[in-house]
Structure 1
Amino acid sequence: MTERLQPDVLLLADGPTGFTALRSLAAQCRVVQVFRKPDQPEASALRAFAKAQGILVAELQELNQLRKAIADLRPAAVVISSFDRIIPPQILALCRFVNVHYSLLPHYRGRANVNWAIINGETTAGISIHLVVPELDGGNLLFQQAIPIGSNDTVACLYNRLNAIQERELGGVVLRVVAGYQGTGQNTDQASYGCTRVPDDGEIDWRQPTDVIDRMIRGLTPPFPGAFTHLDAQRLIIANASPRLDAPSYIGRVPGRIVGRSPSEGWVDVLTGDGVLRVSSVLTANSERPCAAAFVIGSTRATLGLSRLDLLRRIVALEDRLASLEQLKCTQE
């Protein structure tokens, strides 16, 4: 019995799905090179695994490097998992390209789809593996699987589950593609598009309903940018929170006001537009890890969010700064 030859593949993997993509491919293919940004959270684990396997990891500065690598290495396929650049048609024509996309295509084409699925209140997320064509996320589907979004699921939870599916399936899908499998076409009449990036404007409006705020927090859980608010004009990321379903009704109180606090358990209760959100942990501007919310928010007299007084102070500070710059300009002239 002859041993099956492993096809050569090249991996483009910048983000949080790259490590499991590499492990899946390395189990069934010969990974000849990985292109990856050096400053990603999972970079050290991926690089250690690649080094142990004798796989070169390089930073892709420009797409001409990819063109040259394809010409030099002649891979049977280029696999993409978490890569944020559009590959032009002339490079796509050089080789088979397979992309891993964390949504149920043709829904949520684009980027940051797991984040937006939670924020928008979707009940399912999913993974699609497809051939790459010049149209954005428009190639034939090679594999697809849905997963439910639970009421307590964060974006990190969903990524862990989708990464596990990717690790189990990707290598086998690539083998089938190299053997000639073309997949099935997408129903373009049902196509929808997510935003092109993870939301970076996730400031919490405490006047919003509790479930809306809760979804934003779960959809932006660190290491993503995080849903944030302000405490005494200082930025504060909400790392973990949940709606308090048994909360009493507070009439005439200001959304964002702290109405309960437990130093022993670490949580604080915050008024929203229609209820109460229990905040368990927060991340301050000077910290790398979340800490108990009650350690940072020390009083039930506190109000989260920028108050009118905070805004007025900022306006006055900006006006003073502008006046100083104008005076400096006049002095130099």
Structure 2
Amino acid sequence: MTEQPQPDVVLLADGPTGFAALRSLAAHCRVVQIFRRTDQPDASALKAFANNRGIPVAAMQDLNQLQKMIAELRPAAVVISSFDRIIPPQILALCRFVNVHYSLLPHYRGRANVNWAIINGETTAGISIHLVIPELDGGNLLFQQAIPIGANDTVTSLYERLNAIQERELGGVVVRAITGYQGTSQDTDNASYGCARVPEDGEIDWCQPTDTIDRLIRGLTPPFPGAFSHLDGQRLIITNASPRLDAPCYIGRVPGRIVGRSPSEGWVDVLTGDGVLRMFSVLPPNSERPCAAASAIGSTRATLGLSRLDLLRRIVALEDRLATLERLKCAHE
């Protein structure tokens, strides 16, 4: 029996799921082109993997490149895994498109869904592989699997688990779609939409409950932007922390105040709106690697919060508002 030739596919892979997608596709298909940005953490590893297999890799400048590539290579499918541009209907009509989406569609359509699932306190995340249509994250489902979100899960740990599922399943799912499998329709009546992007302003409000702050930190762990606060006017990214369940009750202390520190074990306790968060590691300014929180925070007299510049701006804005109110009062008298 003659073995069927592997189908040609193009991969669009600008983000943290792209390398797992490539490894899966390479086992089942002939990847003829990869479009990927060069600023990703695993860019060199992906490039080496592609070079060993003779797969060209390029950064996409505009969608006309994709249209031209489809016309030249005539792939059986274009596979999308971490790509932040909307592909117009005229390009989608050129061939079959398959997308990898890290949520349980039709819930959390849009971007940054794993981040928001943690931040919003969801109990499950998931992966959906679906056909692409002009509707945002619409199209029939080809594959879907849920995973639980544990109390200590971060966006990084969830991506690792979801990437493993993608690497195991994607190539086979794409081949089935190419050979005619149409999947199952989404329940559009129950569709929901996540925020369009990762929170760019992940500044911690220490007046919030401890669990809320903990979810923000876990939902933004690097290489995502990171939840941050300020210390002595400098931004400090919190990379590892957890609520302190056995913390004593502090009365009269300002949220953000350091209430405990262990140089030997490296942790620092900081007061929140309703308890204490223990910080284990932080990323100081101009640093590439996290360090123990106690190494960056040298005193229990410190208070985390707004930078001095931000505080001055707020004071100026308040003074301007008071001056405006005074003028209005005088005008009415």
Q: Which amino acid is 2:165 matched to?
A: I
Structure 1 residues 314 and 189: alpha-carbon distance in aligned structure 2, compared to 1, 3 A threshold: closer
Shift of 1:308: 7.7
Shift of 1:129: 0.1
Structure 1 distance, partners of 2:112, 2:52, is: 31
Structure 2 distance, partners of 1:26, 1:306, is: 48
Shift of 1:307: 7.1
Structure 2 distance, partners of 1:21, 1:236, is: 33
CA contact (8 A) 2:14 2:82 kept: yes
Per-residue CA deviation, residues 289-324 of structure 1 (Å, 9 max, x unaligned), is 1000101100000000027897138867xx9xxxxx
Shift of 1:3: 1.4
Query: Equivalences for 1:61-210 in 2 at 5 Å?
Result: 61-210=61-210
CA contact (8 A) 2:233 2:308 kept: no
Shift of 1:99: 0.1
Structure 2 distance, partners of 1:237, 1:152, is: 18
Per-residue CA deviation, residues 66-100 of structure 1 (Å, 9 max, x unaligned), is 00100000000000000000000000000000000
Structure 2 distance, partners of 1:303, 1:6, is: 60
Any idea what SS the aligned residue of 1:114 has?
helix
Q: Aligned Cα RMSD in Å?
A: 1.4
Structure 1 residues 313 and 126: alpha-carbon distance in aligned structure 2, compared to 1, 3 A threshold: closer
Per-residue CA deviation, residues 221-252 of structure 1 (Å, 9 max, x unaligned), is 01100000000111100010000001111111
Q: Give the structure 2 partner of residue 328 of structure 1.
A: none
Q: Give the structure 1 partner of residue 26 of structure 2.
A: 26
Structure 1 residues 31 and 246: alpha-carbon distance in aligned structure 2, compared to 1, 3 A threshold: same
Structure 1 distance, partners of 2:256, 2:163, is: 36
Structure 1 residues 89 and 310: alpha-carbon distance in aligned structure 2, compared to 1, 3 A threshold: closer
Structure 1 distance, partners of 2:17, 2:163, is: 6
Q: Which amino acid is 1:176 matched to?
A: R
Any idea what SS the aligned residue of 1:189 has?
helix
Shift of 1:43: 1.0
CA contact (8 A) 2:231 2:307 kept: no
Structure 2 distance, partners of 1:53, 1:270, is: 51
Q: Give the structure 1 partner of residue 325 of structure 2.
A: none
Q: Which runs of 5+ in 2 are unaligned?
A: 320-333
TM-score (norm 1): 0.93
Any idea what SS the aligned residue of 1:241 has?
strand
CA contact (8 A) 2:130 2:139 kept: yes
- 1:45 counterpart = 2:45: yes
Structure 1 distance, partners of 2:271, 2:92, is: 52
Any idea what SS the aligned residue of 2:245 has?
coil
Structure 1 distance, partners of 2:120, 2:26, is: 36
Q: Which runs of 5+ in 1 are unaligned?
A: 320-333
Structure 2 distance, partners of 1:309, 1:72, is: 54
- 1:306 counterpart = 2:294: no
Q: Which amino acid is 2:138 matched to?
A: G
Q: Give the structure 1 partner of residue 60 of structure 2.
A: 60
CA contact (8 A) 2:103 2:114 kept: yes
Structure 2 distance, partners of 1:193, 1:254, is: 36
Q: Which amino acid is 1:44 matched to?
A: S
Structure 2 distance, partners of 1:177, 1:51, is: 27
Q: Which amino acid is 2:289 matched to?
A: R
CA contact (8 A) 2:233 2:309 kept: no
Structure 1 residues 94 and 306: alpha-carbon distance in aligned structure 2, compared to 1, 3 A threshold: same
Any idea what SS the aligned residue of 2:27 has?
helix
TM-score (norm 2): 0.93
Query: Equivalences for 1:150-299 in 2 at 5 Å?
Result: 150-299=150-299
Per-residue CA deviation, residues 87-145 of structure 1 (Å, 9 max, x unaligned), is 00000000000000000000000000000000000000000000000000011000000
Q: Which amino acid is 1:112 matched to?
A: A
Shift of 1:275: 0.3
Structure 1 residues 308 and 72: alpha-carbon distance in aligned structure 2, compared to 1, 3 A threshold: closer
Q: Which amino acid is 2:55 matched to?
A: I
Structure 1 residues 275 and 70: alpha-carbon distance in aligned structure 2, compared to 1, 3 A threshold: same
Structure 2 distance, partners of 1:72, 1:308, is: 56
Structure 2 distance, partners of 1:37, 1:20, is: 15
Any idea what SS the aligned residue of 1:9 has?
strand
Aligned pair count? 317
Structure 1 residues 284 and 132: alpha-carbon distance in aligned structure 2, compared to 1, 3 A threshold: same
| Range with greater deviation from structure 2 (35-44 or 255-264) | 35-44
